[in-house]
């Protein structure tokens, strides 16, 4: 059986490498072209820094998949890097929607206004007021206001943190020989990591869906549904695709050889990234940013030059030319803004999310410590009472004659 599986992999490896490499080349070329267009016309940094981050997901996936397909030894490192960037891309897409709404402050103001709309627009709110924030988020996110934005950001950042942590944990478990890629057995780390990441990803995507449901009317100009579907298809489909291939290999429907399982996943991703790259040309076009929005430009430099033209009749005509240059339109400055400003934004949100997660933990630890301390005080008080009662009894007993 092992010989048959190995021969199947060898027979399919070279043709799949040629076909997958062709699709990967198309994906990389088309995506690089789209990214360069945005960098060249970098007139709206608040939005475009996140668009470029999302677009860069396609060449990252395509390059790592073809490298892994060409040499199975690089499969695990490539998978780790791919997973890490997937989490960052999901965060970038959420940040892009926030930027399109005018930034975090305007988003909070909008959500607060949505939560204060008349009761007739929402129906009977008496029962909804009695629900906690979690049930409100599930059933009627409109009424949450500011809390909805906090939950949405926490959902995206927690996935980015967990995905990165689990990626390096996978690498460590693989070195120790206890990861068991594709093996659904209790003594391997694979099934546990799959469960954790599956829950984390589903929660992050659900947070994004709820945020979209509340804000889609304000995002009509950017056609958010097409962007949402195209991005979600990459993140959601590739994850479940890998999980499905692992199940098929585990139950013997496909060859169980690890190289075949990883190779099939890499081959399909190469094809899917070519399709995604072409779709991104239409979903995230650079044309709307070819024109400089005056209200959003930071610094505009104008240069006026005057020239005199001598006419044959002997007169002089003065012509004036004005050149307007917007800052941040060179590719070099665009890349610097994406790396520096985008990096600072990510670090700030990660720190904020960790602090939010640690808050309830600290409260819980403090509550446990207070409870233990109170029990110790109560036990000490009981002991003192018993000692006092014993002393009282001894002193009250008359001495024997």
Question: Does residue 56 have a pLDDT over 90?
Answer: yes
Task: Work out the pLDDT band at 19, boundaries 50, 70, 90.
Answer: very high
Task: Work out the pLDDT band at 350, boundaries 50, 70, 90.
Answer: confident
Q: Is residue 194 within 8 Å of 83, Cβ to Cβ? A: no
Res 120: pLDDT: 44
The chain-wide mean pLDDT, for the chain, equals: 78
Give the whole-angstrom CA distance, residue 316 versus residue 365: 86
Give the whole-angstrom CA distance, residue 93 versus residue 30: 20
Joined tokens for residue 199:
């829950």
pLDDT in tens, 155-175: 889 988 898 899 889 889 988
Question: Does residue 314 have a pLDDT over 60?
Answer: no
Which region, left, alpha or beta, applies to residue 177 given φ > 0 means left and ψ of -120 to 50 means alpha? left
More confident residue, 394 or 230: 230
Question: Does residue 359 have a pLDDT over 80?
Answer: no
Joined tokens for residue 34:
């789209």
Distances (CA, A) of 66 to 11, 23, 79, 237, 380: 17, 9, 11, 18, 69
Number of neighbouring beta carbons within 10 Å of residue 159: 27
pLDDT in tens, 256-312: 766 788 888 899 999 999 999 999 999 999 998 887 655 444 455 555 555 555 555
Res 196: pLDDT: 92
Task: Provide mean pLDDT across the span 220-242.
Answer: 82
Res 13: pLDDT: 81
Instruction: Name 319's bridge partners.
Output: 307
Burial of 314: CB neighbours in 10 Å, binned 0-12, 13-18, 19+: exposed
Per-residue HEC secondary structure of the chain comes to CHHHHHHHHHHHHHHHHHHHHHHHHHHHHHHHHHHHHHHHCCCCHHHHHHHHHHHCHHHHHHHHHHHHHHCHHHHHHHHHHHHHHHHHHHHHHHHHHHHHCCCHHHHHHHHHHHHCCCHHHHCCCHHHHCCCHHHHHHHCHHHHCHHHHHHHHHHHHHHHHHHHHHHHHHHHHHHHCCCCCCCCCCCCCHHHHHHHHHHHHHHHHHHHHHHHHHHCCCCHHHCHHHHHHHHHHHHHHHHHHHHHHHHHHHCCCCCCCHHHHHHHHHHHHHHHHHHHHHHHHHHCCCHHHCCCCHHHCCCEEEEEEEEEEECCCCCEEEEEEEEEEECCCCHHHHHHHHHHHHHHHHHHHHHHHHHHHHHHHHHHHHHHHHHHHHHHHHHHHHHHHHHHHHHHHHHHCCCCC
Cα–chain center distance at 141: 20
Task: Provide mean pLDDT across the span 305-326.
Answer: 54
| pTM given for the model | 0.75
Long-range contacts of 133-138 (CB under 8 A, 24+ apart): 137/210
Q: Which residue has the tokens 């206004």?
A: 113
Task: Work out the pLDDT band at 81, boundaries 50, 70, 90.
Answer: confident
Distance between start and end Cα atoms, the chain: 100
Give the whole-angstrom CA distance, residue 284 versus residue 55: 8
Lowest mean pLDDT among 19-23, 149-153, 339-343: 339-343
Res 327: pLDDT: 47
Task: Provide mean pLDDT across the span 15-32.
Answer: 94
Task: Provide mean pLDDT across the span 226-243.
Answer: 81
Give the whole-angstrom CA distance, residue 138 versus residue 145: 14
Give the whole-angstrom CA distance, residue 64 versus residue 86: 12
Res 374: pLDDT: 75
Res 274: pLDDT: 94
pLDDT in tens, 97-137: 999 999 889 988 888 887 776 544 555 554 445 556 666 67
Task: Provide mean pLDDT across the span 313-329.
Answer: 53
């Amino acid at each position: 059986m092992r010989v048959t599986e190995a021969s199947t992999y060898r027979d399919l490896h070279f043709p799949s490498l040629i076909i997958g490499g062709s699709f990967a080349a198309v994906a990389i070329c088309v995506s690089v072209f789209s990214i360069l267009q945005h960098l060249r016309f970098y007139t709206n940094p608040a939005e475009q820094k996140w668009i470029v981050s999302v677009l860069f997901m396609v060449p990252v996936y395509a390059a790592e998949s073809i490298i892994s397909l060409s040499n199975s030894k690089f499969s695990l490192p490539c998978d780790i890097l791919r997973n890490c960037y997937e989490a960052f891309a999901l965060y970038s897409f959420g940040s892009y929607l926030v930027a399109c709404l005018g930034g975090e402050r305007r988003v909070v103001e909008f959500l607060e206004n949505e939560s204060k709309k008349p009761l007739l627009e929402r129906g009977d709110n008496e029962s909804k007021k009695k629900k906690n924030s979690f049930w409100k988020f599930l059933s009627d996110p409109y009424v949450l206001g500011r809390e909805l934005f906090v939950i949405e950001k926490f959902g995206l950042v927690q996935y980015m943190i967990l995905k990165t942590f689990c990626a390096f944990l996978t690498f460590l478990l693989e070195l120790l020989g206890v990861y068991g890629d594709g093996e659904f057995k209790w003594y391997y780390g694979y099934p546990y990591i799959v469960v954790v990441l599956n829950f984390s990803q589903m929660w992050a995507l659900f947070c994004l869906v709820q945020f979209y449901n509340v804000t889609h009317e304000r995002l009509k100009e950017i056609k958010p549904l097409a962007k949402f579907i195209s991005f979600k298809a990459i993140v959601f489909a590739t994850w479940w695709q890998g999980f499905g291939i692992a199940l098929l290999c585990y139950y013997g429907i496909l060859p169980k050889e690890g190289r075949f399982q990883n190779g099939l996943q890499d081959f399909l991703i190469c094809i899917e990234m070519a399709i995604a790259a072409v779709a991104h040309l239409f979903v995230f076009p650079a044309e709307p940013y070819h024109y400089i929005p005056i209200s959003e430009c930071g610094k505009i430099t104008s240069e006026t030059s005057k020239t005199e033209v001598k006419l044959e009749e002997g007169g002089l005509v003065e012509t004036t030319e004005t050149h307007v240059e917007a800052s941040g339109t060179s590719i070099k400055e665009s890349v610097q803004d994406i790396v520096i400003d985008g990096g600072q934004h990510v670090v700030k949100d990660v720190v904020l999310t960790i602090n939010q997660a640690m808050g309830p933990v600290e409260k819980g630890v403090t509550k446990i410590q207070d409870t233990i301390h109170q029990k110790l005080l109560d036990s000490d008080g009981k002991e003192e009472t018993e000692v006092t009662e014993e002393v009282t009894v001894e002193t009250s007993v008359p001495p024997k004659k």
